[in-house]
Structure 1
Amino acid sequence: MSPALPFRFAVLSDAHVHDIEADHGLADAPEGLHVRLLADTMRSTRTFNESKAALEHALEDVAARGIRHVVITGDYSDDGQEPARRAARAVFQDASERLGLRIFLTVGNHDVFADEGRHRSKRFLTASGGYGLVTSDPERRDPQARSVTLSPAMRCLGSPQGLTELGAFGFFSAEHAAGWQTPFGTNPAPEARRYEVTSACGGRRAWLMDASYLVEPVPGIRFLMIDANVFVPLAPGERRADMHYTDSTNAGWAELLIHKPFLLPWMTEIAEAALRDGAQLFAFSHYPVVDPLDGTAEDERVLLGETEMVKRVPPDTVAAALIQAGIDLHFSGHLHVNDTAQARVSGRVLTNIAVPALCGFPPAYKIVTVQACAVSVETIRLDALALDPRLMRLYAREAAEDGLDPGALLEARDYGEFLSAHIGRIATRRYLKRDWAPAMAAAIRRLKLADLAWLAETSEPQAIAVVMPGDPDKQALVSPALADLPATELLGDWYRLRMGGDLGVDRIGPDRMSVYHALAQAFAAGDWPEGSAQAEFRRFFRMMSAYAEGLPSADFTIDRETGAISVD
């Protein structure tokens, strides 16, 4: 049955809900709030305390636009703890009952862990200063904590237990839907949805639940919701005390094709049925199926090594398998990036739309408008969300007491500025320390834009370990207004483009983007030997340009017959 068109739905991802007003077991909570440390936020790829407000704001915005169907592509909870699951459920129930939204979830790597769960430990501010640790692990110790509270509720549950509370949002039922099924039939019971998975050495087997399902929210529109978490049993010698399975974080679709072989034939059947019935099919999972880093993975391996991000880039075999199955459009989360990527095999196209996190830069979600032969995607920014003054007050207290340098975080006027400042901060506090080679990191810390312009224009190759600031008067690429901009600020913009694509370009602004483009061209024009400072920065700017100039990632239209992408 062909759907009534146009049909609109929203796609959100990586809400990572933490409820500051929920009781996590800390006796000495300031102002009655369970607030995660600013210090931890400044080292994390996401913010914690703003997450629930961001999700609520996004759902209110969706409803205000007259949209009634919402997909969330996993990591709806902070880390699968009971307070986080309950908070997510409460938000979704309120949105369903008060706003009339129909919400469908996929599961992410932070929501459940295999069938056994795992311990979680979190640090919270205390009213008396310092922090308290709340943990589900009876063996966990922290000599620096003011208190250590043992709370079984902090444990991330396994599946199906960890999904039960949220079962009404697609996992086990879909009220008023035109159709619902799993790879195993129409029985929603966990015992009817188990598959066998074997350890790498073949010595251990387990039967785990797969939470994939197909739902038809309205006649002719079908959502294929894939549980792409992969947990493989560990051999006895590989196990840790509380973990008997591999972590799903870096596994993604490459491991899914190996350990969940029943999914691809089912997806093929679903795609064939949609084509036969004249229905429109949309696939969703937590993990990307096409490289969301704009083809920069090889440059990244040379410049940075085998980073966590590179490990999560799916191989080409994944896209080929999905194209063969008849899938042409897939929405993902996980990497917290805003990106559009495509793969082509034998004239057929697969488009992956990576949806950014609600709790990281850039905070946004997608609106999808379905037409007969095309799909329009609009990216809705959440920048204007007001910051909670209670949190800002507690952050300032923590920074003063502990001697933290929060950069521009405490100067932010809204959520967009806060998250832009956050990614700028973790660029130096996390990524520069963890991912970048020491010599390159040291160069970024000591150089300015004028120095990089001089480096690009000089005729002599320079050693990255010893390259020093040049003569700013001997360069013409950078205007005086930006000449003294530290390369650490440039690094922040590098990550804004990496994570935000078009939204990063908008946040950075035309003046800086013009200078970055000129520097990229200047470094590209030189014939620099590998290992020189110029060759390193040539690769740096080549990656930066790829992030900025990839496929449209804000507002665009996809022709579903040809895969062509256009911008109005």
Structure 2
Amino acid sequence: MKKTYFTLLLLSTLWQLPSIHSASFAQSQDIEFAFLSDIHLQDVYAALHSPDFKGVFNPKTGKYATIRSMKSQLNSTRLFNENYFAFIQALEDLKSKGIQLIVLPGDFTDDGQPMNVLALKKILEIYSREYGMRFFLTTGNHDPVKPFGGIGGKKDFLAADGSEQAIAGDADFFPSGEVAVSSQINYWGYEEITYTLSDFGFFPSEQDLFWAHPFQELNVDGYDFHQAVENSRLDQRLYRTLNSERLLPDASYVVEPVAGIWLLALDGNVYTHSGEDWSGSSVGFNQAVKVKKHQLDWINKVVLEAEKRGKTLISFSHYPLVDFHDSASDEMKSLFGEQKFQLPRVPSRETSSEYAKAGIRIHFAGHMHINDTGIFTDAESGKTLVNVQVPSLAAFPPAFKILTIPEPETLEISTIQLQTVDRMDEFFDLYRIEQQWLLEHQDPQRWDSTILHAKNYRDYTQMHLMELTRSRFIPTDWPENLAYALQLLSQKELEHWAGMDAEEGGMFLMEKLNNSKDIEQTDGLQGKLIEDFYLLKNGDELGKKLIPSDRRHFYEALFLKLLQKPLSDSQALDTQLVRFFRIFEKLYHSLPSDHFLIDLQKGEVKRVDRVED
């Protein structure tokens, strides 16, 4: 990979930076970092430079909106449009809190397209220049989608009449239908993305006390900024894949932005190739531990240097390093199947062990769009690794984490939910035009318009999750009879079933299903049980607070009754129901994930009671 215009631009930009020493950040008593993950930024008013399509005119703003349809949003695990405003709101919240060190653990763009990378750069530059914020990024599977970029496209942009408009970098990208051509929708690769965002961690900054990457020596005492810039070129940060002679970039780095704190950014992206084409994998460290063995060797060196110099090492990546299902993943595989519920993305015990033994004690991750805290202790070494899952700003629960470091071995983490988001409803009138178009064309996937009555952004994302659960998750991920039973049974019937043995319980359940044509409840859950399950799975403590207290009391009593109910390997409905509630109970009684302390020396997590506003 040769030095391009991007390289020259990087070098000239870095050497012109003012000499601002980051140690000034450490003057306050506590050091604070914010973690904002899975922004999936899409420029909602992009300049497509296309003769075929410039967007849909929005009377509210007098501008042409380049947004995706609501239909596409409600079939995706993330929003595409309103998250743009959520990101701005989060930065405004951080500005008001005076927090200036901000980490973005990957998927900071929709798919690494030029229009979205440039939009992100513009936003970050504004907050850096005007409010003194510093941003540290790492790559996610959506940025870059392909290591060297390529032609890209999306079929679901909203058109003026409410239909969907395909946009691609080439007219032949989609085999049928009218395609608007725009190079702004193509995929950028590592070179374009990292050099465009060069000021945000991927390369050395004069504001930092130290910066290094995995393919150079950790020369802390002899650190020289100008030499670091020269050594940071992407063509010097390459590794060889297992089954290819082609060298791929690794954007990992370690940086000391404030005295005493090292941020370890791990690029966990893994790519496979077929001929000349490359595709990315979303599995994470289960593959990276094999494909990027050089990273583990480097992590060991970084950990040793950090310990020797008394530095607090904070690891972050797009991908998690510990089971994020509260140790329920094995039961979930037995009940739902190994390919459901994103289970291939769960780090294996062997993977967690490798990174724990390497010395990582605290790791922040995104990717899963969930709020969670996981802990793993390696049996051989006794080392403990705490994994903090940062929620997505584009899904429920929309939230970010604030890390406070009152002392080197103690971390305090609080979770800030986004409820009020300015301009959240900016496109709602356009969605109503889409809804009318779907109605006129009798589209079977016409969505429920009640989502447009959401009172705030958190409710909006919750309604998004519930619609996604109904239309996608239940039909594809759940055993049919189990899903039906959970929507059918009342509280009294579940309590009655919990006291039966397996044979009697099985007969009771099948009789109930066979005799019921329609779902009816007389005293109970009204189909809310599966919704509560997803509130817990995705939101953890944040979701638990949204479950009414009477249902929480019912679940707690039911868990106790089911302790006496045996569990077999059978796939009978009675066994499936027992297994489901065992999973539910683990998610319900989880580690703290809202406001908590981590004792790095003891490897312990302790809940901090939050005083609600």
Same fold (TM over 0.5): yes
Measure the CA separation in 2 of the matches of 1:54 and 1:501: 21
Correspondence 1:389-538 to 2 at 5 A = 389-403=425-439, 404-406=446-448, 408-444=450-486, 446-449=488-491, 451-457=493-499, 460-462=504-506, 466-468=510-512, 483-487=523-527, 489-527=528-566, 530-538=570-578
Structure-2 residue corresponding to 1:385: 421
Q: In the alignment, is residue 189 of structure 1 matched against residue 233 of structure 2?
A: yes
Q: Which letter maps to 2:427?
A: L
Residue type of the alignment partner of 1:335: M
| CA shift in 2, pair 1:88/1:538, >3 Å | same
Contact 1:121 1:137 in 2 (8 A): no
Report the alpha carbon displacement of residue 564 of structure 1 after superposing the two structures with TM: 1.3
CA shift, 1:8, in A, is 1.0
Over residues 338-381 of structure 1, what are the superposed CA-to-partner deviations in whole Å (9 max), with x where a residue is unaligned? Answer: 11111112332110111010111101111111122200001111
137 and 467 in structure 1: CA distance in 2 versus 1, 3 angstrom threshold: farther
Give the TM-score taking structure 1 as reference length.
Answer: 0.90
Aligned equivalent of 2:115: 83
* CA distance in 2 between partners of 1:69 and 1:7 (Å): 9
Q: Aligned partners of 2:75, 2:39: CA distance in 1, in Å?
A: 18
Give the Cα separation in 2 of the matches to 1:497 and 1:308: 14
**How far apart are 1:509 and its partner, in Å?**
3.4
Give the alignment partner of residue 129 of structure 1, picking from 157, 162, 174. Answer: 162
Q: Does 1:177 align with 2:208?
A: yes
Residue 52 (structure 1) aligns with: 84
Q: For 1:448 and 1:395, how far apart are their aligned partners in 2?
A: 36
Contact 1:349 1:563 in 2 (8 A): yes
Alignment of 1:59-98 (within 5 A): 59-98=91-130
After superposition, the Cα gap between the structure-2 partners of 1:491 and 1:110, relative to the gap in structure 1 and judged at 3 Å, is same
- Measured on the aligned residues, the alpha-carbon RMSD in Å equals 2.5
Q: Does 1:327 align with 2:360?
A: yes
2:89–2:422 contact (8 Å) kept in structure 1: no
Check conservation: 2:162, 2:430, Cα contact below 8 A: no
In the alignment, residue 194 of structure 2 is paired with which amino acid? L
Q: Deviations over 1:207-259 (max 9, x none)?
A: 0111011111012111011111111334x4xxxxxx73342212x11211211
Structure 2 counterpart of 1:416, one-letter code: R
Task: Tell me if structure 2 keeps the 8 A contact 1:77–1:84.
Answer: yes
Tell me the SS of whatever aligns to 1:54.
helix
The 1:314–1:396 alpha-carbon spacing in structure 2 relative to 1, beyond 3 Å, is same
Structure 1 unmatched ranges of 5 or more: 237-242, 473-478
Q: Structure 1 vs Structure 2: percent identity of aligned residues? A: 31
Whether 1:556 and 2:592 are equivalent positions in the alignment is no
* 1:546 is the counterpart of 2:589: no
Contact 1:135–1:149, Cα closer than 8 Å, also in 2:
yes
Q: Which residue, 154, 173, 187 being the options, matches 1:156?
A: 187
1:315 to 348, 353, 358: 348
> Partner letter of residue 159 of structure 1?
Y
Question: Partner of 2:373 in structure 1?
Answer: 340
- Distance between the aligned counterparts of 1:516 and 1:74, measured in 2? 36
Amino acid at match of 1:223: L
* Offset, 1:39: 0.8
Aligned residues: 545
Question: Structure 2 CA distance, aligned partners of 1:205 and 1:494?
Answer: 46
**SS of residue matched to 1:378:** strand
Q: Give unmatched runs, 5+ long, in structure 2.
A: 1-22, 59-63, 217-227, 440-445, 609-613
SS at match of 1:96: helix
Structure 2 vs 1, CA of residues 138 and 502 (structure 1 numbering), >3 Å: closer, same or farther?
same
Verify the 8 A CA contact 1:106 1:227 in the aligned structure 2. yes
Would the alpha carbon gap of residues 399 and 114 (structure 1) be closer, same or farther in structure 2, given more than 3 Å must change?
closer
Partner residue of 1:220 out of 248, 260, 280: 260
Deviations 1:451-490 (A, max 9, x none): 5444435562226994536999xxxxxx97xx34333x32
Distance 2:376 2:484 in 1: 37
Post-superposition offset of 1:526: 2.8
- The alpha-carbon distance between structure 1 residues 464 and 454, as it changes in their structure 2 partners (threshold 3 A), is closer
Give 2:212's aligned amino acid: Q
Contact persistence 1:319–1:343 (CA under 8 A) = yes
Distance in 1, Cα, partners of 2:454 & 2:551: 20
Q: Which amino acid aligns with 1:520?
A: F
- Name the CA shift for 1:137/1:19 in 2 (closer, same or farther; >3 Å): same
TM-score (norm 2): 0.84
Match of 1:374 in 2: 410
**Equivalent residues of 2:161, 2:433 under 8 A apart:** no
Aligned residue identity for 1:319: S
1:142-168 alpha-carbon deviations (Å, 9 max, x no partner): 75x6x4212222111221223221111
Contact 2:424–2:457 at 8 Å: present in 1 too?
no
Give 2:87's aligned amino acid.
L
Distance 1:116 1:437, change over 3 A: same
2-structure distance, mates of 1:465, 1:174: 64
1:217 is paired with a residue whose SS is strand
- Find the counterpart in structure 2 of residue 298 from structure 1: 330
Offset of 1:182 from its aligned partner? Answer: 0.8
Whether 1:11 and 2:35 are equivalent positions in the alignment is yes
Instruction: Please report how far the alpha carbon of residue 291 of structure 1 lies from its aligned counterpart in structure 2 after TM superposition.
Output: 0.6
Aligned to 2:303: 271
Q: 1:88 to 1:264 in 2, by over 3 A?
A: same
Q: Which moved more, 1:109-118 or 1:445-454?
A: 445-454
Displaced runs of 4+ in structure 1, greater than 6 A? none
2:17 is matched with: none
Secondary structure at the counterpart of residue 245 of structure 1: strand
Do the aligned partners of 1:455 and 1:470 also contact (CA within 8 Å) in 2? no
Q: CA deviation at 1:396?
A: 2.8
Q: Look up the match of 1:475.
A: none
Quote how far apart the aligned CAs of 1:450 are: 5.0
Q: Is the 8 A contact 1:341 1:352 kept in 2?
A: yes
Offset at residue 82 of structure 1 (A)? 1.3
The amino acid across from 1:165 in the alignment is: T
Distance 1:521 1:37 in 2: 45
Q: Is the 8 A contact 1:339 1:353 kept in 2?
A: yes
One-letter code of the match for 2:473? Y
Letter aligned with residue 461 of structure 1: G
